[in-house]
Structure 1
Amino acid sequence: MADAFFGTDLFSDLERLQQQMTGLFGGFPSSIRAGRFGAFPPINVGATDESIEIVAFAPGIKQENLEVSIDRGLLTISGERHAVWQADMPEARRYAQERFVGSFRRVIELPEGADPDKVQAKYANGCLSVSVGRREASKPRAITVN
């Protein structure tokens, strides 16, 4: 039907336009909930039957500069990454800087069944892993059919 009005396949044109826009802007997340473009630290969020798993990729941050809190269903990861540039080479002039330096804060909305009393966090090899347990009532269970 689209051929009759436009003389070409409309969906192919739209897909080509989307690819051009993605190339122009560098590829934004697939949905608004997927995260902000260029947000630091980048995170992965997943789930098991027992817990919600969050991994924040935050290399170059000391463990004592990280803070994890949970309040009203929101998990907040905050901290600060200090610059190493000035300490190593105080006389050098900077031409480009791609590494994020400064304070950051990421807020992740947890699913309804998350239990704020069952939170564990560990930091190793530049990755902050946070595990939030699920409430017993929200865990999947098998129902016997009578």
Structure 2
Amino acid sequence: MFYRSLFPRDVFAELDRIQRGLQQGGGDLSPNIRGTARGGYPAMNVGSTPRSVEIYAFAPGIDPASLDVQLEKGVLTVAGERTSVLPPKDAPATVHIDERFSGRFRRVVTLPDDVDPNAVDARYTDGVLHISVQRKAAAQPRRIHIQ
């Protein structure tokens, strides 16, 4: 017969896991409709292909002119400001819940050494900033012809 305890064998390890989760902003202890907070604002996806590094920053409701994208010494920085849509403080309105981020933001991504800082393309469409950084020609995969 298989016996399983209702409590973990190492209670202290379980308490330590819960404490780490709480210190990291809830971790997997407080799921919500937006998922678990893993980074900052804007949420980002970073991936690579043999020819480029692709970065997607999800920043709906931001004026593209207020975004600042810089690449220096292999570090990509996305910065900007998201304005508040709340009524002014002196308005006769009461805000009950305010979960939308507003204010200045900055995200930094370290890129591999083989990217070409002169071959960067950034486009903002439907609230998604897509940045494509091409790899240097020497780093491109190439087919070797066998004689």
- TM norm structure 2: 0.73
Report the Cα distance in structure 1 between the residues aligned to 2:129 and 2:94, rounded to whole angstroms: 32
Q: 1:108 aligned to 2:109?
A: yes
The corresponding residue for 1:48 is: 49
The corresponding residue for 2:32 is: none
Structure whose residues are more often helix by fraction: 1
Question: What does residue range 31-110 of structure 1 map to in structure 2 within 5 Å?
Answer: 37-86=38-87, 90-110=91-111
- Which amino acid is the alignment partner of residue 61 of structure 1? I
The corresponding residue for 2:136 is: 135
What is the CA-CA distance between 1:121 and the residue it aligns to? 0.4
Percent identical pairs in the alignment equals 41
CA RMSD of aligned residues (A): 3.2
Could you give the per-residue CA deviations for residues 37-93 of structure 1, whole angstroms, max 9, x where no partner exists? Answer: 350001000111111000000011011111111100001100000001126x93222
SS of 2:98's equivalent in the other structure is: coil
What is the CA-CA distance between 1:139 and the residue it aligns to? 1.5
In the superposition, relative to structure 1, how do residues 93 and 38 fare at CA in structure 2: closer, same or farther (>3 Å)?
A: farther
SS of 1:27's equivalent in the other structure is: helix
Report the Cα distance in structure 2 between the residues aligned to 1:27 and 1:117, rounded to whole angstroms: 40
What is the CA-CA distance between 1:144 and the residue it aligns to? 5.3
Report the Cα distance in structure 2 between the residues aligned to 1:60 and 1:103, rounded to whole angstroms: 14
Aligned length in residues:
127
What is the CA-CA distance between 1:130 and the residue it aligns to? 0.3
Report the Cα distance in structure 1 between the residues aligned to 2:9 and 2:44, rounded to whole angstroms: 33
What is the CA-CA distance between 1:122 and the residue it aligns to? 0.5
SS of 1:112's equivalent in the other structure is: coil
Gaps of 5+ in 2: 30-36
What is the CA-CA distance between 1:143 and the residue it aligns to? 4.2
- TM norm structure 1: 0.73
Could you give the per-residue CA deviations for residues 9-64 of structure 1, whole angstroms, max 9, x where no partner exists? Answer: xxx857x949x638752339xxxxxxx83500010001111110000000110111
Q: Which runs of 4+ in 1 moved over 6 A?
A: none
